Structure 1
Amino acid sequence: GKSALDLALSGLQNQGGQIQVLGNIGLNAGGGSINNQQGLIRSGAAVTVTGGAIDNASTLGANQGIEGVQVTLNSANVSNVQGAVRADGNLAINSAGSINNTLGMLSAGSTLSLQDSGPGRGLAITNTGGTIIGGQRTDIRAGSLSGDGKVLSQQDLALDLAGNFTLNAGAEIMANGNAGITIGGLLTNAGKIQARSTLTLGAANFDNTSTGDINAGTTRVNVGGVLN
């Protein structure tokens, strides 16, 4: 591996390949695609990947995925289906389109941030059977999130969604510290929402179904209407 790698290119095919660098990795494909299916992009420092589409699918195995101390992905469309993106420190994914973490793993030792980078709130996050976990903070700001996976923080958590949000039975939002959840529309909870310390819930309307479990040291609810 080299000490550092900084590439500007129209696209990158690293299917089943390996890019390992001791220092920083910078891969900028502009509007082009970066394909890391079954591949490895690993840095001993910071990894920054920018492209119109980033495909990191099928990278849950050993020596696969995108790894670094600090990891930043900038792309309209990020696919991490059955994939793994791991940061020892901070992991940031900035997208105005879609992040698909179906059966995938997004993890950060410090702050994990999924942020809508567009002028509107158009970011759609799919987390079906997936896990999103931050060591110190998990911070998600998007238009929508599928409520059929796990969103976790070993300390604090913030979830801010523009539209409606349904947390399905068997799905979890859990923080060992404080959790703040802000939903622009209807919040329907059939799963588990938990905070060891303070849980703050804000929504236009709130429906806690028969299977819905809300558990916190202190719970603060600010909603326009409670349906159940």
Structure 2
Amino acid sequence: MTRERELTAIAERYARRDVGDRYSLLRPEVWQMLQERERALLRELARREGRPQDWHLAEVGCGAGGNLLEMLRMGFAPEHLQGIELLAERHELARQVLPASLRLTLGDASQAPMAPASQDLVLQSTVFSSILSDPVQQQLAAAMWSWLKPGGAVLWYDFIIDNPRNRDVRGVPLRRVRELFPQGQLRWRRVTLAPPLARLVCRLHPGAYTVFNSIPWLRTHVLAVIEKP
């Protein structure tokens, strides 16, 4: 019941959000955040052996499919990609834009029909910060870990600092990431200028993002690779 209550609560929290154009790619802070994260992710993928077209990747909380579209652009084969999304309206949006050969699953990712040791990479982007239940976080992390092949990795992007203005989310510090994946080998870097600050400084000038983002303690997110031995 804990998991079912938390999943229902997540859907309700998302339903009452009104973000307007806050995440529009036409906003200077948004495209700079995205490009920064993409550069960091590409650096990590370049360290791996093999070729993207041969790798199998699953995304937890794929939303409207934006990250999976990026993976296609990076060279992943659509038949080797799959996404899992809890919210029906986002799942439908993803289905509209992604290739038919890319498998999409609607529902609870911790219960997804994913074969053990079938994935080279498992991606999550700001999913765990939306889960307020520790046991539900743990169940999802355990499922993700079971999907990975030996030598595979979780690709993790999430924020580490609580947002006092938004009680619907919570930061996931590195100590919690280590608790969730105790057997993993963790490599990480801080990225992303604090979004409220980024919105503010980019009103002055888009170039201000780079200036303020050069200060490490103003970055609120972590891009991490958690490798499975």
User: How high is the TM-score relative to the length of structure 2?
Assistant: 0.24
The structure in which a higher percent of residues are strand is 1
Instruction: Say which structure, 1 or 2, has more relative contact order (CA 8 Å, 6+ apart).
Output: 2
Query: Whose Rg is larger?
Result: 1
User: How high is the TM-score relative to the length of structure 1?
Assistant: 0.24
